Structure 1
Amino acid sequence: MEAILRAAGKVMGVELSDPADLGGSLRSTVLRCRTAEGGSVIVKAYGTGPEALRGFTAEARRTWRRFRGSNGPRPTCSRCRATPPSAADRALKARLPCH
């Protein structure tokens, strides 16, 4: 868990602490960590086995397709035409411009 914390902090350029295990699976570990500024981030780390690497590849492919729009248009707000917040945005209390 400490290695995941250090690696994620290095990538993000912030110090992370207080990891809380959110579950994950046999292939991955999911942690909620505190930032030095007092915020929190969710970190997902995959193992190095073949099944874990396949899981990472599949998730990366789904994410890439979603952001490039191949899964069709995402719904938009009828008032401001902004894309609604994702589950992660909602967890971080993100709001649409018109709300």
Structure 2
Amino acid sequence: MATLHMHSHSPFTDSRLISCLRLLGPADGLLLAGDAVYALQVGTPQWQAIELMPAGIGLFALEEDLVARSIEAPNRVQVVDYPAFVALSYRFDKVNSWL
């Protein structure tokens, strides 16, 4: 069952993102929102861990949060707006929010 994993907390304050990366299945997706988009800063250990994800796993980031934090999404990341985020939630069998 394909799952969209959603993160919104800073990847620098706890290990939830790393735990999620270990659990991702081949048909899963990862959506970064809020402070979680800081994980997309090239050169950080968090970005290095994300780069190790298999290419088949979808990697998404909420556009509004990237803009608010002046972060450029690396090429691997598909930037989505709110309507696309809603569409993603329908594309996957379930959504898991890492609170």
TM over 0.5: no
TM (norm. structure 2) is: 0.24
Highest RCO, 1 vs 2 (Cα 8 Å, sep ≥ 6): 2
TM (norm. structure 1) is: 0.24
Larger radius of gyration: 1
